[in-house]
Every structure is written in C-alpha cells, then in structure tokens.
Amino acid sequence: MLKNKTIAVVVPAYNEEIQIIMVIESMPEFVDRIVVVNDCSTDNTAQVVEGFINKDNRDYFNDQIGVRYVKRNAYNEAEIIIQQKAETELKYYVPSQIINTAPEHNRIILINHLKNGGVGASIAQGYKWARDNHIDCTAVMAGDGQMDPSELESICLPIIENSVDYVKGNRLIHRSAKYIMPMHRFLGNSILSILTKIASGYWRVSDTQTGYTAISLSALNAIDLFDIYKSYGMPNDLLVKLNIASCTLKEVPTKPVYRIGEHSKMKIWKVMPKIAGLLVWSFFYRLWLKYFFRNFHPLFLLYNMALILMFLWLPYLFKVFRAQVLGTNLSFETLFAFIFLGIFGFQSLLFAMWMDIQDNERLYK
C-alpha cells in the first residue's frame, strides 16, 4: 500500500519469458498486486510466471482487496445497474483464465488470454481485474522491463495525494531522450503526440505513446474498458475516452529506457497509419459526443463550419495553383471565393481550437 491506498500494477506480456521475472522481482514493496496478463504467448512466459507464483509462499492477504457486490436497497438502483452491466460486458473481453488457485492470497495474479488480443486488450483485462477488486490506483508497466520501477511512486502519488484521474510518464522532456530513444521512434512519437492533442482534447500532453501510466478507480469506472482499442493505438484511444469522461490528467518526468534486452514488437511506421486513422475517427467522436450530445458548446459549430468552408475552398485552391503554374488569369469571382473561403475557414478553425484548449485546460493538472 502507498499512504493507505491499494496499488496494483498491470503487466501486459507477450513472449517475455526472458524479461518478465526481472520486472516482477524489481517491483517496489508498496505494490499490493502484480497482474500479469499473458497475451497467448508462444514461448514459456506463462510457465515462468506460474512457477514464480508457486515458489512465492508469502501470504499477501489484504482485506481491502476483493470483489464486492452491492446489496439492493431503496437508494442504490444506479449501483445495481452498473454491477449488472459489468457482468454482461464479460462477452466483449478477450476470453481469459485466471491461473491462481487462491488469487485473494497471492501478490502475483496471472491471467492467460485464450487467444491473442493485442497489448490494448491485455491492459483492459488487467484494468478490469483492478476495477472489480476496487484497487485505488492501477499502474501499467511493460513486461519487457523498459520502465524503471524506482519511478513508479512518482507515477502513483498524484492519484493518491491529489486525486488526479490519470498520470502519464513523459520521456520526451528528459535530456537524454534524443540520445537514447531511436530516432525513428522519437520522430514517430512526436508526430502521433501532435495528432493525439487534437483528437483527445488534452492539448498539453506531450509523450502520448508511453505505456508507463497510472489510473484511478473512479476513472476506471467512468469508461467502458472492453471498448478500449486492442492494439498499439490503445494509449491514444484511452486519452480520448478519458477526456469525454472529463477525467483530469498529469504528466510526470520519466527517463527513457532502452538496450536492456528488450525486443520491441511495434513497428512504428507500420502502425502509424492505423493510429492516425483511429485519431481522425476519435476526433469526430469526441466532438459530437462531448460537445453536441452531452454538453453543447460553440466550438462544435466552429469546427464543423471550418471543415465545410475548407472543403469548399479546396477546388479554388486548385484553380489558383493551376493558374500560377500555367500563367493564366483568374476571374474576380474565383479570387473572391478563394480569399473569402480561405480566411473564414482558417479563422473558424483557429477559434475552434482556441475554445477547445480553453475548455480542456481545467483537466490538466
């Protein structure tokens, strides 16, 4: 426990038989539960973790951890509905099995996916276990050892002390980032971070692709965990969902860790188009759900006006470009439409972005 609050760490693992024990053994003592989600590995990851559990004879029983069921009374119909909803959602998660025979007494919980679901699906599975067991703060650390366990406390403390909903590590502000991080990852991360700012509404977030995070119990209850993007776009998709739920966010400095024996399975330039497509869809999803259906805001009109004006402006942009190349003259009507649509389109876009930034500033701690 950390300051009388329960802490769990979700460890998504796929073919990490070499690194996984190092991750488990280096976990700080204040961590109450280590939830390893084995994503149908083809190596001995599951056997290695299960063997470690069997050798660990210490009893980690904590009476603050455990699945709790709400008893019906005259005033808790809402809680009953949420409880029933959680039970019906099971079919949307990747089929899995908890290997522990007595999970209430084990510090390490091993959940085996029965089919490969992706890193996002693994984290969602771990989040579900933490939510069901009412863990106060749930962190995520990769199974390849790329996250320094000595920084875990600084990741969790904003949630424990300041009631922040979601905390992300930020590697890009560390002085060593441009020297340690591979250049293609540094550039790819920077591009995706810019797109994620626009899509999520968290305009001040910097390192969107880091997996070193912590989330509060209230935030886990505020979103549909089964609906989290199942692959490498999971951090970006989660930010959009948290913003729609008006969850607060904070970034803390962390160091980039490479060359410790890890083998990255993400090909950044291969997944970027998929994540970029996800972010475009997520932007419109956030715009309509948060600023039209839930709480109407003028930025909804300005964003849509900007998109319409810019769409109408493109043919005139093409005509002006062609005239410049061919050296031909343009009519007054063409030039007027080009200038009018361009100016008002860009103005609408800038005002919409400014309102978006101002409205979401309160969520950044």
85-107 pLDDT, tens digit per residue, is 878 888 999 999 999 988 888 99
The answer to whether residue 263 scores a pLDDT higher than 80 is no
Tell me which residue of 193, 220, 189 sits closest to 206, measured CA to CA.
193
How much of the chain, in percent, has pLDDT values that exceed 70? 93
Distances from the Cα of 305 to the Cα of 110, 219, 347, angstroms: 51, 33, 10
**Residue whose entry in the numeric block shows the structure tokens 């796929």:** 14
**Residue whose entry in the numeric block shows the structure tokens 């085996």:** 112
Contacts with 90 (C-beta within 8 Å, 6 or more apart), sequence order: none
pLDDT for position 61 = 67
Q: Where are the beta strands (DSSP E) in the chain?
A: 7-13, 33-38, 96-98, 108-113, 137-140, 166-170, 213-216, 249-253
Contacts with 279 (C-beta within 8 Å, 6 or more apart), sequence order: 192, 195, 196, 198, 199, 233, 236
218-251 pLDDT, tens digit per residue, is 999 999 999 999 998 999 999 999 999 999 999 9
CA-to-CA distance for 303 and 296, rounded, in angstroms? 13
What is the arithmetic mean of pLDDT over 123-148?
A: 94
Which has more pLDDT, 255 or 115?
Answer: 115
14-36 pLDDT, tens digit per residue, is 999 999 999 999 999 999 999 99
pLDDT for position 177 = 65
Q: Which two tokens stand for residue 43?
A: 């190596």
pLDDT for position 180 = 72
pLDDT for position 192 = 87
Q: Quote the mean pLDDT of the chain.
A: 90
109-130 pLDDT, tens digit per residue, is 999 999 999 999 999 999 999 9
CA-to-CA distance for 196 and 209, rounded, in angstroms? 9
